[in-house]
Amino acid sequence: MSIIVYTENWDGKFKKLSFELSSYAAKLAEMLNEETIAISIGRVEAEELKKLASYGIKKIITVTDDRLQTFDSRTYTKVISDICAKESAQVIIMANNNSGKSLAPRLSVRLKAAICSAAHELPESISPFVIRKRVFSGGALARTELKTDIKLITLTQNSFDLCESPVDVVIEAFTPEPEGASPAITIKEQEKQTGKVLLADAEIVISGGRGMKTPDNWGPLEELAELLDGATACSRPVSDEGWRPHEEHTGQTGKIIAPNVYFAIGISGATQHLAGISSSKYIVAINNDKDAPIFEAAQYGIVGDAAKILPQLVEAVKESKAS
Amino acid sequence: MNILVCISNVPDTTTKVKFADDNKKLDIAGIQWVINPWDELSLTRALELKDVASSEVAKVSVAHVGPATSEPTIRKALAIGADDAYRVNTEATDAMQVAAELAEVVKSGSFDIILCGIESSDYNGANVGGMLAEFLDYTSVSGISALNVSGGEINVTREIDGGKEQLVVKAPFVGIVQKGIAKEPRIAAMRGIMLARKKPIQVSEPKQAESATALLGFEAPPPRAACKFIDADNPKQLISLLQNEAKVI
């Protein structure tokens, strides 16, 4: 029996979430007295792979099949479930992001595994297996029992602290069975930026709302994001106005994110916006209306004009970097 | 080509949720029920594709798993423009059960594109679409922000890490839809509301699919600490607090 972690890499380097998932799995493995195994799909160098061992992963199964270059959730599900069956998986852990949301539900049907999506903590008990998850966009927690033998958990990013527990690791290659049918998905075009911090994975997000007044005021906001290795985001009115691309829209119908710190600049904090960001560890609000609801969600706030305050924040970060 | 849009009946997104029955159930008193926002966008896009001249989309249907009390939401989908509806007559208990029941609806008809919203705004599971695809052994594409049909070819755009991909997908498939697929949800006109009264809702009895989870109860989220205000004349203090107190930058 084993605990399986589905890791993700970005251009051959593990995303931080892979280490978070591994740390979570290692803790769960202690509770269940099991071994931890990580799956890595795509080309990742041995040296990079071994980093997982620092977080308690004892075995890594790599799959480098060229047929997996196109992400087809059906094909991926088959490969992962074959590995899970071979390794007698008891719990499978994935990130609650695009890939996790594509794969976990399919795997859960295939493996007859109950699923807890968007978990942020370890189960409160393992027999019965009870775990809490956020529902109603953070408005409540639901205590949920997973009733099946195999369980699936998708973990919210940045919700579980990294925990180093170095172990010896073995690396094994896995070759998927050939697929008979021709692929159901063909990629026609791909636009992909590399070298930029991805909004979904970012630990620091700097987000602007209508209080930024005009799209020309985004300069210092972008500069602050760059200085802090963060990503930029925006509220719905800003993307609707076309001031920023809609990929940046965070909120209930936009991207749902959970960074370590979310800067809401000139964002009043409508329920729908908070629904997309309420899992952030810290929220910092800058708004000229002291009664804006964003201050109820925030831990740090400044009442004032974003256009005046932002450049000073940029200066302060530059100064602290220089010293 | 026929499109089936799966719809979930959810509390209006501005609802302040309360619980009843010793925090075991949602308190439904005073709740306004609506079509889940992403499902509504999916339906809007399906209808846009059907409404163009010489459209390749012949029919747009909606499917729902829920008791008779959710019929007003189904009627709303019909008023917006869906041609007909399927309702599986059972209380939804979890994603696995809903997906298993929806799979029966899909098998009973002839659908090329099945659309589901990425998640429901109540339980935020993001599971039904993927589960449905696996029950049917169909391909699924998640995170769709554009959908087009032309010359019998289905084109979708999906978001990937750091960008997007344009794909050609073979039918039948399950499309899991996020924001961007349609600009604004379509609103029912008076004529649509009148027509909807006569449109058929096919009710079927459940196959009694089992749920894989049990909801034991709700809890209030832990309270967040009150906001610490920093003087607007001294924003530098914010940076120092984030570095030394919160330790996040």
pLDDT at residue B230 in the model = 96
Gap from A197 CA to chain B (nearest CA, Å): 8
Within 8 A of B241 by CB-CB distance, chain A residues are 300
∠ at Cα A163 (A162, A167), nearest 5°?
Answer: 125
* Distance from the B178 Cα atom to the nearest Cα atom in chain A, whole angstroms: 7
Nearest residue of chain B to residue A254 (CA atoms) = B179
Domain boundaries defined on chain B = 2-222
Domain B2-222: CATH superfamily, name plus number: HUPs (3.40.50.620)
Question: For chain B, which residues score pLDDT lower than 70?
Answer: none
pLDDT for A260: 94
Residue pLDDT, tens place only, A175-227 = 998 776 778 999 999 988 776 788 988 999 999 999 999 999 999 999 999 99
Of A104, A145, A309, the CB nearest to B213: A145
* Alpha carbon of A308: minimum distance to chain B alpha carbons (Å): 9
Domain ranges of chain A: 2-173, 204-322
What confidence tens digit (pLDDT) does each residue in A246-269 have?
A: 889 999 878 889 999 999 999 999
Distance of CA B178 to the CA centre of its chain: 9
Name the minimum distance, in Å, from the CA of A104 to any CA of chain B.
Answer: 8
Letter string b/e over residues A258-279, b meaning 16 or more CB atoms within 10 A of that residue's CB: bbbbbbbbbbbbbbbbbbbbbb
Beta bridge partners of A189: B166
User: Is the pLDDT at A11 greater than 90, yes or no?
Assistant: no
Taking the C-alpha atoms of residue B110 and residue B3, their distance in angstroms, rounded to an integer, is 9
Q: Of the candidates A189, A191, A320, which has its C-beta nearest B239's C-beta?
A: A320
- pLDDT, position A67: 86
Nearest Cβ partner for A73 among B14, B130, B249: B130
What is the least distance, in Å, from the CA of B98 to any CA of chain A?
12
pLDDT at residue A155 in the model: 96
Q: Contacts of residue B220 in chain A, CB cutoff 8 Å?
A: 140-141
pLDDT tens sequence across A33-77: 999 999 999 999 999 999 999 999 999 999 999 889 889 999 999
- Shortest Cα–Cα distance, A2 to chain B (Å): 20
Q: Which residues of A fall within a CB distance of 8 Å from B134?
A: 74, 77, 105-110
pLDDT at residue B66 in the model:
97
Contacts of A228 in chain B (CB under 8 A): 249
Residue with tokens 């896009």: B45
Nearest to B131 among A109, A309, A313 (CB): A109
Contact A101 B249 (CB under 8 A): no
Residue A191 in tokens: 């636009």
Measured between CA atoms, how close is B200 to chain A, in angstroms?
30
Residues of B in contact with A249 (CB under 8 A): 179
Closest chain A C-alpha to B138 CA, distance in angstroms: 7
Taking the C-alpha atoms of residue A295 and residue A300, their distance in angstroms, rounded to an integer, is 8
* Residues 6+ positions from A43 with CB-CB distance below 8 Å: A12, A64
CB nearest to B134's CB, from A106, A139, A185: A106
Most B CBs within 10 Å, among A299, A310, A320, to test the B interface: A299
Prediction ipTM score: 0.93
Q: Which residues, in sequence order, are CB contacts of B126 under 8 Å at separation 6+?
A: A96, A101, A105, A117, A118, B118, B119
Instruction: Tell me if B230 and A302 make a contact (CB, 8 A cut-off).
Output: yes
For domain A2-173, the question of CATH label 3.40.50.620 is answered with: yes
Q: What is the mean pLDDT of chain A?
A: 94
A·B CB contacts under 8 A: 267
Out of A74, A110, A143, the one facing B219 most closely (by C-beta) is A143
Distance, CA of A146 to CA of A112 (rounded, Å): 11
B104 burial via Cβ count (<10 Å: 0-12, 13-18, 19+): middle
Contact criterion met (CB below 8 Å) for A308 and A314:
no
CB contact under 8 A, A191 and B164: yes
Kindly list the residues from chain B whose CB atom is less than 8 angstroms away from the CB atom of residue A319.
236
Q: Which residues of B touch A114 (CB under 8 A)?
A: 96, 212-213
Residues in chain B closer than 8 A to A78 (CB atoms): none
Look up residue A42 and give its amino acid.
Answer: G
CATH of A204-322, one of 3.20.20.80, 3.80.10.10, 3.40.50.1220, 3.40.50.720: 3.40.50.1220
> Which of B167, B233, B247 to substitute to test the interface with A, most A CBs within 10 Å?
B167
Confidence tier at A290 by pLDDT (50, 70, 90):
very high
Nearest to B238 among A112, A297, A313 (CB): A313
* pLDDT the model gives residue A180: 67
Provide, as residue numbers in chain B, all residues whose Cβ is less than 8 Å from the Cβ of A253: 37-38, 41, 179
Q: State which residue of chain A sits closest to B10, comparing Cα positions.
A: A136
